[in-house]
């Protein structure tokens, strides 16, 4: 009896370095406001992150230590939120591209057979593309 390959065996792990490494760099590339404006919520988070960073620098210069600590924490969380959202989007795009490449490869490697006799007496014939 012929066994079939498990199609799940070739699925990439969520933590696959081939997807994670480019996604890290893409998370930073996606901070470009021209790209970020496509997602209005994250665009607003980016604007507020920049403003909070400016306020933090102002607090450092003026010497307001208590306010500077609070502003730093808020800004840090905003930047982390922004980078994580971009990272998650980049990972999803990477997995989508990997799946599309696998499907393209499967399309060229897959062979079809046509049943000559519906009752199965005559066997099957390979179908040639064209």
pLDDT at 11: 55
For the chain, which residues make up each domain, given as ranges? Answer: 18-127
pLDDT at 10: 53
Distance CA 23, CA 89 (A): 8
pLDDT at 1: 41
Backbone angles phi, psi at 116, to 5 degrees: -75, -45
Residue for token digits 């696959």?
16
DSSP lists the bridge partners of residue 114 as 125
Which DSSP string corresponds to 34-58? HHHTTSHHHHHHHHHHHHHHHHHHH
Residues 6+ apart with CB under 8 A from 23: 87, 90, 91, 93, 94
Structure tokens that stand for 66 in this block: 């208590």
pLDDT at 70: 94
pLDDT at 66: 85
> Do the strands 112-115 and 124-127 form a parallel or antiparallel pair, or are they unpaired?
antiparallel
pLDDT at 45: 96
pLDDT at 120: 64
Distance CA 36, CA 42 (A): 7
CB atoms within 10 A of CB 90: 21
pLDDT at 38: 92
If the chain, 130 residues long, is cut into consecutive pieces of 10 residues, what is the mean pLDDT of each piece? 49 71 90 92 96 96 89 97 94 84 76 72 66
């Amino acid at each position: 009896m012929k066994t079939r390959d498990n199609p799940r065996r070739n699925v990439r792990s969520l933590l696959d370095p081939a997807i994670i490494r480019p996604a890290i760099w893409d998370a930073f590339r996606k901070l470009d406001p021209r790209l970020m404006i496509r997602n209005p919520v994250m665009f607003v988070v980016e604007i507020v992150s920049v403003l909070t960073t400016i306020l933090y620098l102002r607090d450092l210069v003026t010497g307001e230590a208590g306010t500077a600590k609070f502003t730093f924490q808020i800004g840090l969380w905003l930047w982390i939120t922004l980078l994580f959202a971009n990272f998650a989007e980049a990972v999803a795009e990477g997995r989508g591209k990997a799946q599309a490449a696998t499907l393209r490869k499967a399309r060229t490697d897959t062979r079809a057979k046509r049943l000559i006799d519906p009752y199965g007496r005559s066997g099957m014939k390979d179908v040639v593309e064209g």
